[in-house]
């Protein structure tokens, strides 16, 4: 009789994970009687106060329904009708939003070749070369993803340099922070140190991948938040435009209090510590640090047990630096398919040779160490 090994929890996406119990408890607590709809409620007011503590005294929070919506609202608010948005070629806005920035926002994306998901100030400057040519989209916004789509993290100095060059060239800076928490935990810094203090102007602040249930927020920094006020006028006009744009792009939840409650559960209530690394750290930190640690464990386990293959062969090759909660690796396609019978995950790109494939293994706030170890054993079995 063939004994089938039990299925393991998936490593497909941090979006597959359940919502954290504290998030659900916060939603339940917000479910108290009637509240003014469309964000005029006391829970959203608390979120606004909390975002000012976490990001800067002039910051404003606009809860939205999903990450794609956060990006579209942010970029549309920052870009004039004739503008363009400089992004990496692998940016989620460029590859995984079904053209929403173009279709819904009417934006022109200006992609740069990236290395492990990151771009450089030179890439930005190259696009900026066309900024006085009326035949070309005017590069108005730089959008960076932190942590990146390939599981890497921009170091603070690199982000500072990128922000600096963008502002020098008259561009506003947006961060797709769908996994901002993972980046902050990886760098050991606060959310503010990763955004406001570097001159970032607008953030798509992720919640779903960090233990949330449904909903994210656009955070616009105040003109006096950060080192040089960033793109001050762009921040002011973005903050003024977003209430309208959010509605026009179908991102305004009528019962916004339930989105706000989730974000508050992750960020902490007003007055709580904004950072910290221990058990009393805010939930966003604990969830993200755990997910990152699980990815490091997975990388180490795979490298130690599954046989590395520098140029291909029958083993596994970890293809990107594991800096947040994702592990990218190549392995023989047949082994990937065998492993997928035990735990779901996605193919990402072609491998080094036609018989190999690059896969993505994501860890989440609830990934257990023993699940990682069982997945590594399953990988060893699958590789034969
Ligand atoms: C980097 C990045 N940005 C934005 C999003 C968009 O999130 P949503 O699926 O909520 O639209 C995702 C989702 O996977 C993402 O990975």
Q: Which atom of ligand 1 is nearest the CA belonging to 216?
A: 10
The CATH number for 198's domain is: 3.40.640.10
Cα distance between residue 215 and residue 68, in whole Å: 10
- Coil, helix or strand for 251? coil
Do 203 and 308 sit in the same domain of this protein?
no
Atom 13 of ligand 1: nearest residue by CA position? 67
CB 87 within 8 A of CB 146: no
Q: Which atom of ligand 1 is nearest the CA belonging to 148?
A: 1
Atom 5 of ligand 1: nearest residue by CA position? 67
The CATH number for 366's domain is: 3.90.1150.10
Best probe residue, ligand 1, of 17, 67, 217 (max atoms within 8 Å of C-beta): 67
CB 10 within 8 A of CB 344: yes
> At residue 144, what are phi and psi to the nearest 5 degrees?
-115, 145
Do 292 and 245 sit in the same domain of this protein?
no
| pLDDT for the residue numbered 130 | 83
Q: Has residue 149 been placed in a domain?
A: yes
CB 118 within 8 A of CB 152: yes
Among 267, 292, 321, give the residue marking a domain's end.
267
C-alpha distances (whole Å) from 320 to each of 20, 118, 346 are 28, 11, 16
User: Of 237, 195, 185, which is closest to residue 217 (Cα–Cα)?
Assistant: 195
Q: What is the pTM of this model?
A: 0.96
Among 267, 302, 336, give the residue marking a domain's end.
267
Ligand 1 centroid–CA 325 distance in Å is 14
Do 176 and 288 sit in the same domain of this protein?
no
The pLDDT averaged over each successive group of 10 residues in the chain (384 residues) is 73 96 98 97 98 97 98 97 96 96 96 98 91 92 98 98 95 97 97 96 98 98 81 90 97 98 98 84 97 97 75 78 98 96 96 96 98 95 90
Among 235, 267, 299, give the residue marking a domain's end.
267
| pLDDT for the residue numbered 229 | 59
Ligand 1 centroid–CA 384 distance in Å is 35
Report angle CA 266, 269, 274 to the nearest 5 degrees.
70
Q: List the structure tokens of 49.
A: 């106060």
Ligand 1 centroid–CA 15 distance in Å is 9
Q: Has residue 15 been placed in a domain?
A: no
User: For residue 28, what are the contacts with CB-CB under 8 A and spacing of at least 6?
Assistant: none
Q: Has residue 198 been placed in a domain?
A: yes
* Cis peptide upstream of residue 147 (ω within 30 degrees of 0): yes
Work out how many domains the chain is built from and give that number. Answer: 2
Do 242 and 299 sit in the same domain of this protein?
no
- Coil, helix or strand for 234? helix
Do 201 and 109 sit in the same domain of this protein?
yes
Ligand 1 centroid–CA 33 distance in Å is 32
Do 247 and 286 sit in the same domain of this protein?
no
Do 53 and 163 sit in the same domain of this protein?
yes
183-194 as b/e: b if 16+ CB within 10 A:
bbbbbeebbbeb
Ligand 1 centroid–CA 92 distance in Å is 7
Do 144 and 215 sit in the same domain of this protein?
yes
Q: Has residue 241 been placed in a domain?
A: yes
E strands of the chain, at which residues? 60-64, 83-88, 108-112, 138-145, 172-177, 202-205, 216-220, 317-318, 326-332, 346-350, 356-362
Ligand 1 centroid–CA 235 distance in Å is 23
Atom 7 of ligand 1: nearest residue by CA position? 67
Do 248 and 315 sit in the same domain of this protein?
no
Ligand 1 centroid–CA 284 distance in Å is 17
Domain range for 25? 21-267
| pLDDT for the residue numbered 246 | 98
Q: Which atom of ligand 1 is nearest the CA belonging to 176?
A: 3
> At residue 122, what are phi and psi to the nearest 5 degrees?
-65, -35
Cα distance between residue 159 and residue 137, in whole Å: 24
Do 225 and 297 sit in the same domain of this protein?
no
Ligand 1 neighbours by CB, cut-off 6 Å:
66-68, 71, 92, 145, 149, 176, 178, 208
């Amino acid at each position: 009789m063939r004994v089938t090994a039990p299925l393991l929890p998936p490593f497909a996406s941090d979006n597959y994970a359940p919502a954290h119990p504290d998030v659900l408890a916060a939603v339940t607590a917000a479910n108290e009687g009637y509240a003014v709809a469309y964000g005029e409620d006391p829970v959203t007011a608390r979120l606004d106060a909390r975002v000012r503590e976490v990001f800067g005294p002039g910051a404003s929070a606009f809860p939205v329904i999903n990450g794609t919506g956060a990006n579209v609202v942010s970029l549309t608010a920052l870009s004039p009708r004739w503008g363009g948005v400089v992004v990496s070629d692998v940016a989620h806005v460029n590859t995984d939003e079904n053209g929403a920035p173009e279709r819904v926002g009417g934006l022109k994306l200006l992609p740069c070749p990236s290395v492990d998901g990151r771009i450089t100030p030179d890439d930005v400057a190259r696009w900026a070369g066309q900024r006085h040519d009326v035949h070309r989209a005017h590069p108005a916004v730089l959008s960076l993803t932190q942590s990146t789509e390939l599981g890497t993290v921009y170091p603070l100095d690199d982000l500072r340099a990128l922000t600096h060059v963008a502002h020098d060239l008259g561009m506003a800076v947006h961060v797709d922070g769908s996994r901002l928490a993972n980046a902050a935990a990886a760098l050991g810094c606060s959310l503010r140190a990763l955004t406001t203090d570097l001159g970032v102007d607008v953030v798509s602040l992720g919640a779903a991948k960090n233990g949330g249930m449904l909903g994210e927020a656009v955070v616009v920094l105040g003109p006096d938040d950060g080192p040089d006020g960033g793109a001050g006028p762009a921040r002011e006009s973005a903050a003024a435009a977003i209430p309208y744009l959010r509605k026009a792009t179908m991102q305004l939840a009528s019962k916004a209090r339930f989105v706000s409650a989730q974000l508050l559960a992750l960020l902490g209530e007003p007055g709580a510590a904004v950072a910290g690394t221990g058990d009393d750290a805010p939930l966003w930190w604990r969830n993200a640090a755990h997910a990152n640690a699980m990815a490091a464990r997975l990388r180490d386990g795979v490298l130690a047990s599954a046989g590395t293959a520098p140029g291909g062969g029958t083993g596994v090759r970890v293809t990107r630096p594991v800096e947040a909660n994702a592990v990218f690796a190549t392995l023989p396609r047949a082994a990937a398919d065998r492993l997928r019978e035990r735990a779901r995950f996605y193919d990402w790109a072609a491998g080094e040779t036609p018989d190999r494939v690059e896969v993505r293994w994501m860890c989440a706030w609830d990934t257990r160490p023993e699940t990682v170890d069982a997945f590594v054993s399953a990988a060893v079995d699958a590789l034969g």
